[in-house]
Amino acid sequence: MTFVVILIILAVIIIPNIKIVPQAHEYVIELLGKYRTTWSAGLHFKWPFIERIAKKVTLKEQVLDSPPQPVITKDNVTMQIDTVIYYAVYDSKLYAYGAVSPISALSNLAATTLRNIVGELELDGTLTSRDTINGKMTTILDDATDKWGIKVHRVELKNIIPPTEIQNAMEKQMKAERDRRETMLQAEGHKAAAITRAEGDKQAMILAAEGERDARIARAEGEARAIYLSKKAEADGLAALKEASVDAAVLELKKYEALVAMSDGKAAKIIVPTDAVDMAKANVVFAETTGLGDATSPAKEIKKTPVKKDECCE
C-alpha cells in the first residue's frame, strides 16, 4: 500500500514536469529565479519546485499592424499613416530579458521613427517615396531591436491618408492632368491623320505622274515604231523596185499615181514642173496611158491691132 502511494506521488510530481517544446518554439528556463537555459523543440524534463518556464517564445515571423498615426510633413500637412512591421525573434533570452514589453516598445519606436522620417519630407515626397521610407524604417528598427532579440525583416506603409482638402485638390489635379493628356492624344491623333492623308495624296500624285510619264513614253515608242516600220516598208519597196530594174518611165508613172491619189475627191491644186511634163510627153507609155500629150494645145497666136495715126499730129 505504501509503495502504491509513493508511485502515485512520484507520478503526480514527475509527469507535470515532462515538457514537449513544439517546432519553431523555444522555452526560457529559470532556476531559482535565475536564467538557466533555453529549451529548443523536443522532449525536456524540468526539476520540480526549483525550475520554471519563464517565457514561451515563438520563432515564426510575426506581423505587427500599427494603428494610423498622425504625422506632420515638412510643409505642415498633417496626415494619417499606418505601418505594417514583419519581424521574428532570433534570441529567446534577449527577447525575455531585453525589454519589459518588446512588442509595445517596437510599436512605439516605429511611430516615432515614422514621424522623424516624414517630418523631413514634403507632401509630394511622402506620397512618392514609399520605398525610401520603408527602407529607412527597416534599417533603424532592425538596429534598435537587436538588443531585444528581434529581427525586423521589413516595414511597409499600409495607408497614407492626407486631409480632405488635400484629397480634393489632388483629385482636381489628377482630373486636369487626365484632360491634358486626352487633349494631347487627340491632337497627336489629328496630326498623324493629317500627315497620313498628305503622304497618301503625295504618293497618289507621284504615281499618277509616273503613270502619265510611262503612257507618254509608250505612245512615243509606238509612234516611233510605226514611223520606223512605215519608212522601212518604203525602203523595202524602193529596194524591191531597184532590184526589179524598173526604168524611169515606170517611176514617173508611180509619181503621178501618187499625185492623183493626193488630189482625189479634194479641191487641190497641183503644180507640175515643166521639165516633168516634157519628160512625160517624151515617154510613149505615159502618153498612151494618160493622153496628157494630146490634150495639150499649142499656144494661140496674138493678133496685133494696127495703130491709127493721128493726122493732126503728123
What local confidence, expressed as pLDDT, does residue 170 receive? 75
Are the CB atoms for 287 and 293 separated by under 8 Å? yes
The parts of the chain modelled with pLDDT lower than 70 are: 1, 241-242, 244-314
What local confidence, expressed as pLDDT, does residue 64 receive? 92
Residues 117-171: tens digit of each pLDDT: 998 888 888 888 888 999 999 999 999 999 999 999 999 998 888 888 877 877 7
What local confidence, expressed as pLDDT, does residue 122 receive? 86
Q: How far is residue 29's CA from residue 307's CA, in Å, rounded to a whole number?
A: 183
What local confidence, expressed as pLDDT, does residue 138 receive? 93
The amino acid at residue 261 is A
What string of DSSP letters covers 111-136? HHHHHHHHTTS-HHHHHH-HHHHHHH
Residues 275-295: tens digit of each pLDDT: 555 554 555 444 454 444 444
The amino acid at residue 263 is S
